[in-house]
A and B are shown apart, each in its own frame.
Chain A
Amino acid sequence: MTAFLLRRLAYLTVLVGVATVVAYFLAATQLNPRSRYEGRNPPPPPAAVDAILDELNLNDKTPVVERFAKWAGGVLRGDLGRTIDSGSVNTEINRRIWVSLRLMLLGSILGTLLGVAAGAYGAIRQYRLSDHLITVSSFVVLAMPTVVLAVLVKNAGIGLNDLLGFTGDWKLLYTTGEITPGMDALSLGGLSNRLAHLVLPTFVLMSGSIAFYSRYQRSAMLDVLGSDFLRTAQAKGLTRPQALVKHALRTALIPMATFFAYQFALLFVGATFTERIFGWHGMGELFVESITKSDVNTVAGVTLLVAVLVLVAGFLSDLVYAALDPRVRV
């Protein structure tokens, strides 16, 4: 078993490596950091541009293999290279990953729990009014791209502020950024200010998860509801709610394990659109900016991070599966 796990781990590591190499070479050959300096007026002397690009390991006159070797050497020492603004990719990712995590954590936990609850409830109350309501609203939310949902929620928030008379600097709900500039983050006012910034984006992220999980949980639960072991559980004296929670819900959660695990990977990088609409400077923004700014090292660094996260999630899903389903344990 250990040998198998080790082999699997080695394979996954190789996969992460290959993915990063592919991303680096694609980015290094397709993106053109030099264009950043070409449009300037007056044009900087070519020698100066070369010197800057050499310094950042982004010069397209150096063969791409040589650039990659230098970058990969850094990665092995834990240094992801320099951004195009000559900062450190590590610092940039470190700063932003917590912003994203703060945004995603609450939304995904609430979304998962409420989604599972709504799906299970819908299955128990199949074809009643509440089931229809849950089904219809999750269908509508699933048909909405995050962009549209985020804009709707943002404008609803602005409308609510106006309606309740919060037109000054102090608002009920904030729609841009994570904290009002100049606020002391650690004071009581700062904390409530943060919370008021968090409400709307969290709601957007949450609605998506609720809709997604409730659909799957409903059909997983329906499959279990007709089963014999549930009737047996009631026959041996459990009440209906006890049987539903202890036997039905638990069994119906097993196929969902994979989704839970992949949610972990999304925690760090999954809110690109929400971040854009609500003006949070997180990983999703870095993702998009690194490409528009032709920032090769950041692109490769982010890819490496995502690849590692996806593989950890895959591993995690196997573990969760084994924990929930005794048949998997050998």
Chain B
Amino acid sequence: MAERASSQLLPEQAGAAGGLDATEAVSRTRLVARRFVRRRPAVAGLVSLALLFAVAYLGPFVIPWQYDQLDTNAFLSPPSAVHWFGTTQTGFDVFALTMRGLQKSLIVGLLGAVMSTALAAIVGAFSGYLGGTLNTVLLTIIDLLLVLPSFLIIAILSPLFRDHTWLVFVFLLAAFQWMVTARIVRGLTLSLKEREFVTAARFMGVPTWQIIARHILPNMASFLIIDATINVSSLILAEVGLSFFGFGVQPPDVSLGTLIGDNAGAALSYPWEFYFPSGFLVALILAINLVGDGLRDALDPNAVFQGRR
């Protein structure tokens, strides 16, 4: 839901800005970008997200240690000039581990969010547009997946991806994330499909999949973008939860979740092992949430803004 700026102020301000002249024609992209930039927390979120990306991928090149490389001269050493974030009990460099985990969390979140939103868009749009038996079947599947406890199912299936790539894990995470969005997409499709431009396309003989791809989905692009952003942070948190219990990313690979899970008990005696990965995780989620909030306000056509649009 949109956060409104104090709407009582608006009429006077619009008048002060010069009536109709103030609202010169701007493209939607520029309008959205301008609205986004005006939100300072959102911009801060975007900047920190970019920084986190840079640190995650460039950081490992700056230090001489690899995430799977042992320093047999330093076990459990506190942060120092050699090991910026200290080392673990077996002599792994915590900075290298954290950066590796950060990379994994970023990929899991982004990939999973794209998968889940795409799945939701396709299922929701087809089920809403075609209706009939397909609609009934898809809605039943959605209900069923909502009832199944996702944590339990993914945990049971974790031996499956133990020997395979973590992509299976991301796919499973996404497979339990799309249902609510699909329902909303279906609702939006139901109202869009009665609009003139869609009926016109249908009467001209445009095939169904093209109508959905060109007319239905682009008209809910804002909603899908916002949904994908929210999904990124919830998927990263889901990954952390599962990895905490050992059902997620499997060793020797690391993620922020496995690091936090392995070191939660050591937080008091060897704080660097726990607080560095946790700190990066919290910063990451915070940045994504801020960007998501900013996007929601910028993309919402009903949001009321102070001053010029």
Contact = CB atoms under 8 A, between A and B. Distances in A.
Contacts of B2: 219
Nearest to A288: B245
Contacts of A303: 148-149, 152
Contact of B160 (A30, A216, A269): A30
A146 B77 CA distance: 28
Contacts of A26: 153, 156-157
A27 B157 CA distance: 8
A273 B244 contact: yes
Q: Max chain B CB contacts within 10 Å: which of A147, A220, A223, A302? A: A147
Interface stretch (B89-97, B110-118, B285-293): B285-293
A126 B6 contact: yes
Nearest to A291: B155
B147 A147 contact: no
Contacts of B153: 23, 26
B281 A148 contact: yes
Contact of A139 (B159, B268, B286): B286
B278 interface: yes
A219 B300 CA distance: 14
Nearest to B283: A143
A55 to B, nearest CB: 23
A127 B144 CA distance: 43
Given A148-B281, A219-B3, A277-B264, 16 more contacts: A15-B140, A22-B144, A23-B156, A30-B159, A139-B289, A143-B286, A144-B285, A145-B241, A147-B241, A147-B260, A273-B244, A288-B155, A291-B155, A299-B152, A303-B148, A303-B152
Interface of A: 15-16, 18-19, 22-23, 26-27, 30-31, 126-127, 139-140, 142-148, 151, 155, 158, 216, 218-220, 222-223, 226, 269, 272-273, 276-277, 287-288, 291-292, 299, 302-303, 306-307, 310-311
Nearest to B41: A139
Given A15-B144, A23-B148, A147 B289 contact: no
Interface string B112-152: 00000000000000000000000000001001101111011
Nearest to A277: B264
B237 interface: yes
A27 B156 contact: yes
A23 B264 contact: no
A30 B157 contact: yes
Contacts of B272: none
B152 A291 contact: yes
A36 to B, nearest CB: 15
B247 A291 contact: yes
B59 interface: no
Contacts of B240: 145, 147
Contact of A15 (B3, B8, B143): B143
A151 B274 contact: yes
Nearest to A22: B148
A181 to B, nearest CB: 20
Interface of B: 1-4, 6-8, 140, 143-144, 146-149, 151-153, 155-157, 159-160, 233, 237, 240-241, 244-247, 260-261, 264, 267-268, 274, 278, 281-283, 285-286, 289-290
SS class, residues of chain A in contact with chain B: helix
A258 B267 CA distance: 37
Contacts of A139: 286, 289-290
Given A220-B1, A291-B247, A16 B156 contact: no
Contacts of B281: 145, 148
B106 to A, nearest CB: 15
Nearest to A296: B156
B3 A222 contact: yes
Contact of B289 (A143, A146, A148): A143
A312 to B, nearest CB: 11
A27 B154 CA distance: 11
A293 B154 CA distance: 16
Given A158-B268, A226-B7, A307-B147, A147 B160 contact: no
B156 A31 contact: yes
26 contacts: A16-B147, A19-B148, A22-B144, A23-B148, A23-B156, A26-B153, A27-B156, A30-B156, A31-B156, A139-B289, A139-B290, A142-B285, A143-B286, A144-B282, A145-B237, A145-B241, A145-B244, A147-B244, A148-B278, A155-B268, A219-B1, A220-B1, A222-B4, A288-B245, A303-B148, A303-B149
B282 A140 contact: yes
Contacts of A16: 147
Contact of B144 (A19, A219, A277): A19
A273 to B, nearest CB: 7
Q: Max chain B CB contacts within 10 Å: which of A22, A142, A148? A: A148
Contact of A142 (B8, B156, B246, B289): B289
Contacts of A140: 282, 286
B29 to A, nearest CB: 26
Nearest to B247: A291
B13 to A, nearest CB: 15
Nearest to B277: A148
A286 to B, nearest CB: 11
Nearest to B239: A145
Contacts of A291: 152, 155-156, 247
Contact of A148 (B160, B233, B260): B260
A79 B58 CA distance: 57
A220 B4 CA distance: 11
A262 B212 CA distance: 33
A287 B241 CA distance: 13
A273 B153 CA distance: 17
A27 B8 CA distance: 58
A302 B152 contact: yes
